[in-house]
Amino acid sequence: MDMHFDGKVVVVTGGSTGIGYSAARLFLEAGAATVYVTGRNGAKLSQAVSALGDKAVPVVADSAQIEDLEHLRARIEADGRKIDVLFANAGIAENNDIGTTDEALFDRIFDVNVKGVFYTVQVLLPVMRDGGNIVLTGSIVGNKGMERLSAYNASKAAVRSFARSFANDLKGRGIRVNTLSPGVTRTPIMENGLKMDEERIAGFEAYLKSASPIGRMAHPDEIAEAALFLASSKASYINGVELSVDGGFAQI
């Protein structure tokens, strides 16, 4: 599907690696004039933006910190730009066991995945163009309820709820809001967040061969393409939905 973002201004949070990085690259390839890319780690973000090229603008920001989001908004204002597309993608995943989950872990997940998504949208709305598009990154676990992930699962269910509410809240401005819910995707979050080693990742891949109709994990580009679709004019009558891009894993 041919999707054009010629001259558009895009913000991708959590764009140093994985789905966010793929989305930033694809938005640029589709003609975006500027893509603001955020990440918490300055070195990783600089490396990513260097590969993306001159039209990518790095902004070191933690989505859980409102002052960081305000800094991002101030940068966009100072550049004299308005956002056409906001891809609120930043998120974390960690295992937790019911009965032994400490408050710090719970707060960490909800601060980034719930508070971070809410305030990313709220803080950037003043620099969002009427008729623009917002895509939130959810997950199939918001519906599936996978074990040892209850806090993460619940945080992504909240994201799905935000899209429903925001679509109503922003209808007066003509801003569409949708949730993109990936299935199992091969990104660094497996090692960095879920602490999976290569043996466990290989075991999960083997499990998916029979458990998922498509029989494999997704490549980040496959998820990012769906984000571009939701943000494009091709999806002009799609609003408030959850698009599960999971190879059928949670659908059967």
Options 3.40.50.1100, 3.30.70.20, 3.40.50.720, 3.40.50.10490; CATH of 9-245? 3.40.50.720
Q: Which helix H or strand E contains 183, and what residues bound it?
A: none
- What per-residue confidence (pLDDT) applies to 104? 98
Domain ranges of the chain: 9-245
What pLDDT digit, counting tens, does each position of 129-154 carry? 999 999 999 999 999 889 999 999 99
Distance of CA 240 to the CA centre of its chain: 16
| β 176-182/56-60 pair status | unpaired
Residues 6 and 29: beta-carbon distance below 8 Å? no
Residues 124 and 69: beta-carbon distance below 8 Å? yes
End-to-end CA distance of the chain: 26
Nearest C-alpha neighbor of 50 from the set 33, 63, 61, 37: 37
What pLDDT digit, counting tens, does each position of 16-74 carry? 999 999 999 999 999 999 999 999 999 999 999 999 999 999 999 999 999 999 999 99
Residue 116 CA to residue 126 CA, distance in Å, equals 17
Backbone angles phi, psi at 80, to 5 degrees: 70, 30
CA angle 198, 151, 252 (to 5 degrees): 70
Backbone angles phi, psi at 238, to 5 degrees: -110, 120
List, by residue number, the catalytic residues: 152
